[in-house]
Amino acid sequence: MVGYFCLLLIVARTSTKKTDNSTFFLGNRQSPWWLVSFGMIGASLSGVTFISVPGWVETSGMAYLQMVLGYVFGYFCIAFLLLPIYYRYNTTTIYGFLAQRYGKVAHTTGAAFFIISRWLGASFRLYLVAAVLQSLVFDELGINFIWTVIITLALIWVYTNRGGIRTVIFTDTLQTIAMLGAMCLTIYYVYISIDNSNGIFNTIISQEESKWFFPDATDGRNFWKQFLGGIFITLAMTGLDQDMMQKNLTCRNLKEAQLNMITLSGVLVFVNALFLSLGVLLLIYARQEGIEAHGDELFPAVASYAEIPIVVGLLFFIGLIAAAYSSADSALTSLTTSFCVDILGIEKMKESRGLLIRKRVHVGMTLAIALLIIAARPFVDASIIKNIFTAAGYTYGPLLGLFTFGIFSKAKISNKWIIPFAAILSPLLTYFASWASPLYLNYIFGFEIIILNGIIMTMMLYFSSSSVKNFPQVKR
């Protein structure tokens, strides 16, 4: 861990010469698109994907691939619908669009929902990694979980504090290489430890857990539920998320940013298929050896099993650290950027004062993530990835509605305070609908809950807008 961190620090120091706010927020808009695209693979996957997706295979098969196909469609929508808007408005954060479309209140509301959403998401993603590191390493050293969290976040703060998103672009490239390399080598070593000579491809597809297409409408894994959920989760958690879009805004121009998105969409299908294949192999090996581990516990249990080659444990550790850091560093940077730009209006301040405030906010965001991880430990579910996507349906839904109405309608909203009111009411109504639908409609919402949330938010904005007042009235 120390050696890996030292390598990260070297990359961070050599890749960042300037340390002003422009470098921290936008990387001076000089990042090569292919470097951004490759680095975003690691940031998109995170430590949760590294552990939870293989563990998810036991209960859901490869149904996750249906959602991943939805991701591809969502990435194309981002590339050709959202990115042109962001580059045309030329703002430091994507929520600058809301300021120009609706005004300051909407700008602050959108940024606030992003900050809450990303704070929760980043904290729970990092929690999973910290919990695994605690059980595998720090318990043996007699180090308390609180110190595990503090040490992990302190290391991330150290190498992102100087260069921000510019540093993240380069360090994420290194971490993506480490994570993908660890995954591919782990697949190989686990396969050769299995008592099977049918070939790796035949071994994987012959398992019941390799099923990926589920047409039954009553099944929670139904294709259209997963596919549509994947589209809108991508639009919200990537296209309307400063964390992911901040990297795109560092590209030299719109065309390169679009190339980044299209390339990323194709690569992620292949990478997620490999993670699911790894999950099948882990299940086969666990059953062969009588290892009692399920869900998020499966990969760590096999990696630390005495009979498995020790290199698997080392690769798991490196891959986990790489996946965690590549997601957490960009989350910390984007939270700092959004709070400074969207909430505090740092761009209107003198450079020296803005630099001081940005550094203080960076420390504050680091502490906020640490406190949430520590406080949430007694309450977190063992299978985190499903909960993250479910929570995203509620927290990102108002953003989806805000951007949808803002892009596709030119109507004005005279009372600006309707926007924060609707943004709070929309998730509450969505939760009520998800509770009532099984009782009265015999329908259970899955990840497509974000669509309902976005529709409710959009409709509330519509009925509060000038378009309703101008709607032709029927004469009696």
Residue 476 binned pLDDT confidence (cut-offs 50, 70, 90): very low
For domain 2-394, the CATH class is mainly alpha
pLDDT tens-digit readout, 233-266: 888 878 888 877 878 887 888 888 888 889 888 8
Tokens of 139: 């318990």
Can you say whether the dihedral through the CA atoms of 139, 141, 144, 145 is positive or negative?
A: negative
pLDDT at position 252: 81
Tell whether the model's pLDDT for residue 272 goes beyond 80: yes
Separation between Cα atoms, residue 447 and residue 393, nearest integer Å: 7
Inform me whether the pLDDT recorded for 419 exceeds 50: yes
Among residues 224, 223, 232, which one has the least CA distance to residue 74? Answer: 232
Q: Which two tokens stand for residue 279?
A: 């999950």
Cβ-based neighbours of 360, under 8 Å, separated by 6 or more: none
Q: Mean per-residue pLDDT for 294-298?
A: 77
Task: State residue 474's pLDDT score.
Answer: 41
Cα 387-388-392 angle, rounded to 5 deg: 115
Q: What is the spatial distance between Cα 205 and Cα 201, in angstroms, rounded to a whole number?
A: 6
| pLDDT for residue 472 | 46
Q: Which pair of tokens denotes residue 56?
A: 């998810």
In this predicted structure, what is the pLDDT of residue 220?
67
Q: What is the pLDDT of residue 473?
A: 45
How close are the terminal C-alpha atoms of the chain, in Å?
77
pLDDT grade for 22, boundaries at 50, 70 and 90 = low
Q: In the predicted model, is pLDDT for residue 211 greater than 50? A: yes
Condensed to tens digits (0 to 9), the pLDDT of residues 129-172 reads 788 778 777 888 888 888 888 888 888 888 777 767 777 777 77
In this structure, are residues 18 and 295 in contact, taking their beta carbons and an 8 Å threshold?
no
pLDDT score for 432: 93
- Closest by CA to 311, choosing from 182, 224, 202, is 182
Once rounded to an integer, what is the mean pLDDT over residues 323-344?
Answer: 83
Tens of pLDDT, residue by residue over 299-328, are 888 887 777 788 888 888 888 777 777 777
What residue spans define the domains of the chain? Answer: 2-394
* pLDDT tens digit sequence for 428-473: 999 999 889 888 887 877 767 888 898 999 999 988 887 655 544 4
pLDDT at 280: 87
Q: Has residue 336 got a pLDDT over 60? A: yes
Contacts of 194 (CB under 8 A, 6+ apart): 203, 281, 284, 285, 288
Q: Is the confidence at residue 122, as pLDDT, over 50? A: yes
Q: Which amino acid is at 147?
A: W
CA–CA distance from 241 to each of 233, 245, 258, 334, 372 (Å)?
11, 6, 16, 9, 20
pLDDT of residue 27: 65
The pLDDT value recorded for residue 475 is 45
Residue 20 has pLDDT above 50, yes or no: yes
Residue 244 has what pLDDT? 78
